[in-house]
């Protein structure tokens, strides 16, 4: 007898409540292929009907469920439930995804100084990134005057990588952290509106180090993205490897570090194919060649903990596709997220507002134009980033 016969949930209509799961003990076989479950063929419950199926009979992609069920992340479903849900996916993504949830950041209190190095939601990464910017502009950590370095971070940046990384070291060390990337977008066509920022893309970092070092710390970092070849490499599925030398010290909330990284450009690429939306100013087009050259990257960080030392380190940066899927409700290509095809979510407005505040604070936004819109730089309709001298890297920590 098939215990999945007469299942509740989707198989009795979308308007019904969430299904009750069939007990594992009642289902020694897959409800579709009748294969026996064992160490290799594992059980998977369909979130649409509650039945028990094998991996092959619950194929990707995951599906958004009816809003009435109160679940905002895509879920694993059997083939039959997936066919029922597939025509509803566009509507459910637009009306019930996590990207539509409200996101609140409080400027006061101690919460702003305690960023978790590993966040499992993109909404959490947005809050972390907002706190990083907020702490750079005000609070305990600004006992050290960082305004000159902050201005250098903005220079020529086509986007930002925000990361919070935990380090543990005693001679040799490990580091792990998560964050997000957002890129500048051009104003909408035929408007004088201020510059926009892309939808966020979740990333993670894992690395190790060897040297004379000891201690534990967490590091909040802002990395300016000046080479879109980095984005192309991440989008192609190639994890981004960085190698560098670091000297740093932290005690309590006032730590700073200096890192010098030499970066290979896009692995195996001779031509950048990343193309932002039509209308991007010529000055923001990606470099024509990226093959094989190495460059240095400067960024800025605040660290907290007890740590000191000099080390040689390596790290791998990669896109967290599962976190992006849970946030947006469907699978989007990295270039679609960062290139403007995915509408910047309301959930990330707290971050966009804080970036704008940061630009004003760092002196990189000129007075408002006659229409009341902030403009960047000079010439070209006021949309080109300011060009200035080479960046200073005092107090800098580079991950890219």
Collapsing DSSP states into helix, strand and coil, what is residue 241?
A: strand
CA 89 to chain centre: 23
295: pLDDT confidence band, cut at 50, 70 and 90? very low
pLDDT at 64: 95
Q: What span, in angstroms and rounded, lies between the C-alpha atoms of 308 and 250? A: 6
Instruction: Summarize pLDDT for 265-283 with one digit per residue, the tens.
Output: 333 333 334 455 545 444 4
pLDDT at res. 329:
96
Cis peptide before 69 (omega within 30 of 0): no
Give how far the C-alpha of residue 105 lies from the chain's centroid of Cα atoms, to the nearest Å.
17
Question: Using one digit for the tens of pLDDT, what is the confidence trace for 312-349?
Answer: 888 889 999 999 999 999 999 999 999 999 999 999 99
Q: Higher confidence at residue 133 or residue 145?
A: 133
Q: In degrees to the nearest 10, what's the CA dihedral of 343, 349, 352, 358?
A: 180
Q: Is residue 376 scored above 90 in pLDDT?
A: no
CB within 8 Å of 14: residues ≥ 6 apart: 66, 84, 88
Higher pLDDT, 343 or 154: 343
Instruction: Find where tokens 């070849």 sit.
Output: 229
Once rounded to an integer, what is the mean pLDDT over residues 43-50? 91
Q: Are 184 and 81 in contact (CB under 8 A)?
A: no
Asked if residues 247 and 346 have their Cβ atoms less than 8 Å apart, the reply is no
319 with 234: CB under 8 angstroms? yes
- How far is residue 224's CA from residue 181's CA, in Å, rounded to a whole number? 10
User: How far apart are the C-alpha atoms of 164 and 224, rounded to whole Å?
Assistant: 15
Q: From CA 273, how far away is CA 287, in angstroms rounded?
A: 10
Environment class of residue 51 by beta-carbon count within 10 Å: exposed (0-12), middle (13-18) or buried (19+)?
buried
Chain-wide mean pLDDT for the chain?
74
Nearest CA-CA partner of 396 in 294, 290, 300: 300
CB 186 within 8 A of CB 279: yes
Q: Assign 91 to helix, strand or coil.
A: helix
Task: Give the lowest-confidence range in 147-156, 213-222, 353-362.
Answer: 147-156
Per DSSP, the three-state class of 45 is strand
Quote the CA–CA distance of 289 and 235 in Å, as a whole number.
17
**pLDDT tier at 25, thresholds 50, 70, 90:** confident
CA dihedral 292, 298, 299, 305 (to 10 degrees): 100
């Amino acid at each position: 007898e098939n215990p999945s016969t007469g299942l509740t949930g989707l198989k009795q209509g979308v308007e019904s409540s969430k299904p009750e799961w069939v007990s594992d003990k009642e289902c020694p076989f897959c409800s579709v292929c009748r294969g026996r479950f064992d160490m290799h063929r594992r059980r998977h419950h369909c979130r649409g009907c509650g039945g028990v199926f094998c991996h092959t009979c619950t194929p990707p992609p995951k599906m958004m469920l009816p809003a009435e069920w109160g679940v905002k992340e895509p879920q694993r479903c059997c083939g039959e439930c997936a066919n029922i849900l597939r025509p509803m996916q566009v509507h459910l993504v637009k009306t019930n995804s996590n990207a539509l949830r409200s996101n609140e950041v409080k400027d006061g209190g101690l919460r702003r100084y305690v960023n978790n190095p590993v966040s499992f939601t993109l909404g959490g990464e947005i809050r972390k990134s907002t706190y990083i910017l907020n702490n750079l502009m005000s609070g305990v950590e600004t006992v050290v005057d960082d305004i000159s370095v902050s201005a250098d971070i903005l220079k020529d940046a086509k986007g930002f990588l925000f990361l919070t990384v935990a380090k543990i070291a005693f001679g040799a060390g490990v580091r792990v952290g998560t964050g997000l990337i957002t890129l500048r977008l051009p104003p909408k066509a035929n408007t004088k509106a201020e510059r926009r920022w892309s939808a966020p893309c979740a990333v993670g970092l894992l690395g190790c180090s060897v040297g004379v070092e000891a201690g534990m710390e967490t590091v909040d970092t802002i990395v300016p993205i000046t080479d879109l070849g980095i984005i192309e490499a991440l989008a192609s599925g190639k994890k981004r490897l960085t190698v560098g030398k670091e000297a740093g010290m932290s005690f309590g909330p006032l730590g700073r570090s200096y890192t010098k990284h030499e970066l290979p450009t896009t692995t195996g690429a001779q031509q950048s194919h990343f193309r932002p939306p039509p209308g991007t100013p010529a000055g923001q087009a990606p470099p024509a060649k990226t093959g094989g050259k190495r460059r240095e990257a400067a960024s800025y960080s605040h660290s907290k903990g007890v740590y000191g030392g000099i080390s040689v380190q390596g790290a791998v940066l990669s896109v967290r596709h599962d976190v992006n899927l849970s946030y947006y409700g469907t699978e989007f290509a990295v270039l679609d997220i960062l290139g403007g095809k995915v509408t910047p979510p309301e959930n990330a407005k707290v971050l966009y507002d804080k970036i704008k505040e940061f630009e004003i604070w760092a002196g990189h936004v000129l007075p408002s134009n006659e229409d009341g819109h902030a403009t960047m730089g000079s010439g070209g309709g006021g949309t080109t980033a300011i060009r200035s001298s080479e960046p200073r890297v005092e107090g800098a920590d580079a991950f890219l």
